[in-house]
Amino acid sequence: MNVFRLCFLMTAVLHAGAPLAVTGIVREGLPPYEDDARLYRLEGDGCDLRPGQILLLVRPREPRPMGQLEVVKGGPAFALARVSRPGATFPMKGDLAVPREPLRRLPALPGPDAPLPAAQALRPAEPALPAPPPGVGHREPIFFLPDQAVLTPGAKTKLKAWVAAWGRAGRWVLALPEAEPSPLTEARVKALREELGRLGVPKVERGPAGPAAPGKYPAVFVVLEPC
């Protein structure tokens, strides 16, 4: 079940857009160099990491755990990170580094003497259905990890933001870059349809093939055509 284990690891990643890639090894200070002094250079679209941020290492088609990196320096187009948790092997060029969602503090529970909320307060609010401005359409890509059809938490965050900003009305379409469908692309379309349906979009159609998304990661375009 190595493939299932790798898919499970993919669901733990979080960040909007494509993951970062390990592009090189940086050694600082005077020789001899120790393994724990190695810094790994990370590059990718939207690279904006903070020191102390933890990243999950993933190697495509590698079922073994790859460990974690910790950011020590961030820049507008790159970041430097060191190994914070060793994996089965050392990081290599081409490995993927995806920021991990930090733990959040749970809200405090009410005390035993707190009054019960009114029945009206327990009823969930009905979601509004805003309509997009007339004549305005939208077209944005959702990126996937290579050979994967799992939506990352970052992709789900994007979809939620788009539905809130665009409104649920209009014609929602999924456009694939490939001309020939494959089981993998069909699985990606299914994942997007299920998530959009969970967000309240009543119907999502399959559109014609469109141009490939910019960058080196596979993507499916989410299109909203105006009413």
Both structure tokens of 198: 């969970």
Domain locations along the chain: 2-99, 130-225
3-state secondary structure of 131: coil
What is the reported pLDDT for 49? Answer: 76
Adjacent-strand bridge partners of 223? 139, 173
The label of the residue with tokens 């989410």 reads: 222
Give the pLDDT mean for 55-69: 81
* Nearest residue to 175 via CA among 135, 215, 219: 219
Q: Which residue has the higher pLDDT, 163 or 63?
A: 163
Instruction: Give the fold, CATH level 3, of 2-99.
Output: Elongation Factor Tu (Ef-tu); domain 3 (2.40.30)
Output the pTM of the full model: 0.42
- Could you give the CA distance from residue 164 to residue 83 in angstroms, rounded to a whole number? 38
Looking at the predicted structure, is the pLDDT value of residue 66 above 50?
yes
Both structure tokens of 183: 């089981």
> Do 170 and 204 form a contact (C-beta atoms < 8 A)?
no
Length of the chain: 227
- Residue 101: band (very low, low, confident or very high) from pLDDT cuts 50, 70, 90: low
Q: Which residue has the higher pLDDT, 122 or 166?
A: 166
* Nearest residue to 210 via CA among 185, 184, 183, 193: 185
130-225: same fold as 2-99? no
> Do 182 and 149 form a contact (C-beta atoms < 8 A)?
no
CATH class of segment(s) 130-225: alpha beta
